[in-house]
Chain A
C-alpha cells in the first residue's frame, strides 16, 4: 500500500544515503581542518526570533502554534539561527568564532515546479572577522570544500551587495522605484530594467548605460578597471571593496577560481558588502552562495562583522556525479 508524503519532501534510501554521508563527512572534515566547529540548532524556532534576521525573504513558509499558543516557525536557512545562537551563547567568547553545520532547512514551494520544501545545506559562519581577510578566509574554505567534493571545475562569483542600492541612490532613485529596479536586477531582467530606468524622471541615457553595462561586467580582475571607467561614487566604493577582497584572495593563492561579477545580486535581505555564488559547469543551477552580513548580528544585540557560505548538499551530489570522469566521457 502506498502512503503519500508531502510534495517537495523525499525519502533517502541506502545507496544515495551512503554517497551523501561520504560527501557530508568530506565537507565537515574540510570545515574542521580549517578550525570550524560543527553545531546543530533546532529545526523549529520562535517565529519572532527568525523574523528578526530578515523580516522579508528569509521569513519561514511554515508557521504554527504550539500547545501554549506561541508562534513557531521552521527555519529557512542556518545563518539566522546561528546569529541567534552566537548572540545567546557566545557573546563573551573570543573572536573570531568559527562555526559550521550540515542541516535541513525549509522553504515554501510554487505548485508543479518540482521544488524541495526540505533540503540539506552545508556551510560555515565566520563571526568577528571583518572584510577583506574574513571574506578571503571564507572563500578559501569554500574552495577547499568544492575540491573535497570533486568539483575542481566549480567557479565562485564575487560581487557586492550594496552596489546597486548605492548607485540608484546616487541617481536620485529612492523608495518603491528603487525596490522595483533592484528586483529586476536580481532577476536579471535586463529588458525590463532598461525600459523602467529610462522611463524614470531625471535619469539620463548615460546613467541607463552605466547601470546596464555594470550588470554585464563579469570576469577577471580587469572588469574592475572597466567598471571604474563608468565612474560614480557607488562604483568606486564597490570596486575598491571587491579589489581589496580579490587582493586578499590572491595573497592566499585562492583567486584563480573566483570570477568577479558586478551583476551579482542575492535576494536575501541581510547581505552587505561581498556576496558569493557558486556554479559548476555540469549543472544548470547555482550550487550555493554566501557573503558578508555585517549588520545581521547587531539585530540580535551583538555588533560583529560576519561572513559565510552555504552549499546545497543534494545539488553538490548531482554535480559530483556529473563530474565523474566516466559520465563526462562525451561532451554535450
Chain B
C-alpha cells in the first residue's frame, strides 16, 4: 500500500460525485458520451473559461488528461476519464480502471525516418538506440520487456522533430491517423500498444460511493458498447 504525506491526501468526497473530464483530443467524444447518458454538458461546451461545472447530481471538472490520475488518486475527483496512454505512463498512480470506453482509439508506436536504417544501425553498431518521447516510462518498459537497450530522451513538444535533426534515432509516440508522422517523413516500425479512453475511479470513492459509481459505470458501459 502506498503511503503519502499528510498534505497530499486531503480531499472531501462529500456532495455530488466529481467527474474529471479530459480537455484536449478526448474532450468532444467524452462530452458526447456524457450527453448520451443524460449528463448535461452544455455549459462545458460553451464559451465559459471556468473549470468546474455543477450539474444535476454530478460535478464536471475539466483538466489536462495527464492530470486526471493525480486528481482521482487523491480523491479530489471521485471518478474520471482519461486515455490508456496516460494510465500506462503513470502506472504507479493508484486508480481503479473500471471500463474501456472504446473511443479515442490510437496506437503507441515506435517510429523512425522513412527508408532510413538509423534505428537498426544504432542498435547493431552502438548496442543502443536513442529514442525521443513524451512517454519515457512507457518507452523504457517496452524496450526492457523486449530485451533491448535504449537511451530514452524525454521531450515536451513536437517529438517528430527529434529524429529529423539528429537528437534521436527514433521516437515513441501516440498516433491516431498517422498523418503527422507521414508529413514529417516518419514511418511506424513497431506497434507497442493500442490505447483508448478509460473510466477510472478513486479507491475510496469506489467503496464508499459504490451505488453512484456502479450506476455511472453501468450507463457508460451500455452507451459505449452499443
Q: Chain A residues near B110: list those with CB within 8 A.
A: none
1/0 per position for B153-185, CB-CB distance to A under 8 A?
000000000000000000000000000000000
Task: From A190, A279, A322, give the contact of B99 (CB < 8 A).
Answer: A190
Interface residues as binary, A109-141 with B (CB distance below 8 Å gives 1, 0 otherwise): 010011110010000000000000000000000
Partner of A116, one of B3, B92, B214: B3
Determine if A147 is an interface residue (Cβ-Cβ < 8 Å).
Answer: no
Pairs across A and B, CB under 8 Å, 7 listed = A115-B2, A187-B97, A191-B198, A259-B210, A284-B205, A317-B6, A322-B12
Query: A315 to B9, Cβ gap below 8 A?
Result: yes
Is A75 located at the chain interface by the 8 A CB criterion?
no
When the two chains form their complex, are residues A328 and B14 in contact, meaning their CB atoms are under 8 A apart?
yes
Query: Is B126 on the interface with A (CB-CB < 8 A)?
Result: no
The 8 Å CB contact of A283, one of B3, B9, B92, B94, is B9
Determine whether A167 belongs to the interface, using a CB cutoff of 8 Å to chain B.
no
**8 Å CB contact of B210 from A10, A116, A219, A266:** A219
Contact residues on B (Cβ < 8 Å of other chain), bracket: 35 or more
Q: Which of B35-43, B71-79, B113-121 contacts A (4 or more CB under 8 A)?
A: B71-79
Interface residues of A (CB under 8 A from B): 8, 10, 107, 110, 113-116, 119, 155, 157, 187-192, 216, 218-219, 259, 261, 266-267, 277, 279-286, 289, 312, 314-315, 317-318, 322, 328, 331-332
Structural contact, A286 and B203, CB atoms closer than 8 A: yes
CB of A331 within 8 A of CB of B9, answer no
| Measured CA separation A134–B218 after assembly (Å) | 38
With both beta carbons as reference points, the residue of chain A lying nearest to B95 in the complex is identified as A188
A115 and B99: CB pair below 8 A?
A: no
Q: How far is the CA of A163 from the CA of B79 in the complex (A)?
A: 27
What is the CB-to-nearest-CB distance from A329 to chain B, in angstroms, rounded to a whole number? 11
- The distance in angstroms between the C-alpha atoms of A80 and B210, with both chains bound, is 33
Does B125 sit at the interface, judged by CB under 8 A?
no
- Smallest CB-CB separation from B84: which chain A residue? A191
B106 in the interface (beta carbon within 8 A): no
